[in-house]
Amino acid sequence: MDAYPNEGQLDHEGVVTGNVEVARDCWRMEIRCPELARTAKSGQFVMLRCRQGMDPLLSRAFSICDLLYEDGEPVGIVVLQLIIGVGTQALADRQLGEPIGLLGPLGHPYGLGTPDEHLVMVAGGIGAAPFALVARALRERSPTQRVTYLVGGRNADYVYLTDEIAELGCDVQVATDDGSRGHHGYVTQLLEPLLEPGVRVIACGPNPMFKSLAVVIRAAKERGLQIPCQVSTEESMPCGFGACAGCVVPVVSNAHPDGFRFAKSCVEGPVFDVEAIRWDLMRSIH
Ligand SMILES: Cc1cc2nc3c(=O)[nH]c(=O)nc-3n(C[C@H](O)[C@H](O)[C@H](O)COP(=O)(O)OP(=O)(O)OC[C@H]3O[C@@H](n4cnc5c(N)ncnc54)[C@H](O)[C@@H]3O)c2cc1C
Ligand code: FES
């Protein structure tokens, strides 16, 4: 594993400068925090204080969706958050101008390979969140690299960031479980016809999507096609910095008698090689 990439001051106070509902139960929050934005990389995350005060006690983890710029310099971050419980509801209730505590940027970023590769981003549901920043980083690196965004959702209301990522010159394909938009079926079915030498895959979404992805990548390998593929896991993260072991995932380890060990996804991840995770032992609640 690479050395942990984050050092220096990670504890910040930002200011909420935008907070609007952009899709059903999905809020786009803008936070001004120049010192954090300056070092953020695609695939990294932040821990956000849901409210001022101690309730709820624990911060919540969110991917850095995009950056805010002023005079060409990054001055803040965008977070896309789906309301599912008390913490995310409290964040949706945040008012403009309020201070907000945040920790980050945290975790390992995605490996983006080289511009001569065809980079395919695979997103499931709110797992779409990191890909606006990924697409922006790729475009800053190369205006011509072939980039495809495959995004799935349970229905058309839960498909995110298609316009934003298309505007950055990426091919966009949509899949929905009920067929209300795009391909009727799973997003991983859109990936299979794209697999050929020179393709690199990065993914974020629920564990069942990752399990299907692992099967697709393994099947390609058995045909002699080695596709680099990283996934960003979204295990619940009580602390976000390695102190609690609440975020562990089973990873392959030949040094252990059972062939695996538990890795803290907040510090060793959240980005892992798809083949590094023991999907047969992974919980399926997410
Ligand atoms: C690295 C990382 C990045 C993330 N990025 C984003 C993001 O960009 N946007 C976003 O909306 N969410 C993201 N999440 C998920 C987000 O952290 C949770 O949705 C949030 O913590 C839930 O808090 P809550 O208080 O609203 O819900 P809680 O009250 O804590 O939980 C409500 C219910 O949701 C379940 N739950 C809790 N955490 C998760 C989870 N991670 N996935 C699915 N179900 C869960 C609980 O079991 C419970 O049943 C990310 C998580 C991680 C670890
Ligand atoms: S969230 Fe606490 S150790 Fe990872």
Answer yes or no: is the C-beta of 236 below 6 A from any ligand 2 atom: no
Report CA(207)–ligand 1 centroid distance (Å).
13
Flag whether 241 is in a domain.
Answer: no
Flag whether 43 is in a domain.
Answer: yes
Report CA(267)–ligand 2 centroid distance (Å).
8
Report CA(172)–ligand 1 centroid distance (Å).
26
Residue (of 183, 69, 217, 213) closest to 132 by Cα position: 69
Identify whether residues 122 and 196 lie together within a single domain. Answer: yes
- Domain end call among 219, 234, 249: 234
Examine the pLDDT at 94 and tell me if it is beyond 50. yes
pLDDT digits (tens, 9 = 90+) for 247-261: 999 999 989 888 999
Contact 90, 51 (CB under 8 A): yes
Report CA(45)–ligand 2 centroid distance (Å).
13
Residue type, 190: L
Ligand minimally distant from the alpha carbon of residue 79: 1
Contact 106, 36 (CB under 8 A): no
| Residue range of the domain that includes 164 | 118-234
Predicted pLDDT at 286 = 46
What whole-number distance in Å separates Cα of residue 14 and Cα of residue 1? 31
Please count the CA atoms within 13 angstroms of the CA of 25 that sit on its side-chain side: 11
Contact 145, 138 (CB under 8 A): yes
Q: Give the rounded distance of the alpha carbon of 212 from its chain centre.
A: 17
Q: Any idea which residue has 């390998």 for tokens?
A: 221
From the CA of 82, give the closest atom in ligand 1. Answer: 11
Mean pLDDT of the 189-208 span: 97
Residue to substitute in 236, 241, 285 for testing ligand 1 pocket (most ligand atoms within 8 angstroms of CB): 236
Domain holding 63: CATH number?
Answer: 2.40.30.10
pLDDT-derived band at 109 (thresholds 50, 70, 90) equals very high
Answer yes or no: is the C-beta of 243 below 6 A from any ligand 2 atom: yes
Ligand minimally distant from the alpha carbon of residue 262: 2
3-state secondary structure of 281: helix
- Domain end call among 234, 250, 278: 234
Predicted pLDDT at 216 = 97
pLDDT digits (tens, 9 = 90+) for 129-160: 999 999 999 999 999 999 999 999 999 999 99
Flag whether 260 is in a domain.
Answer: no
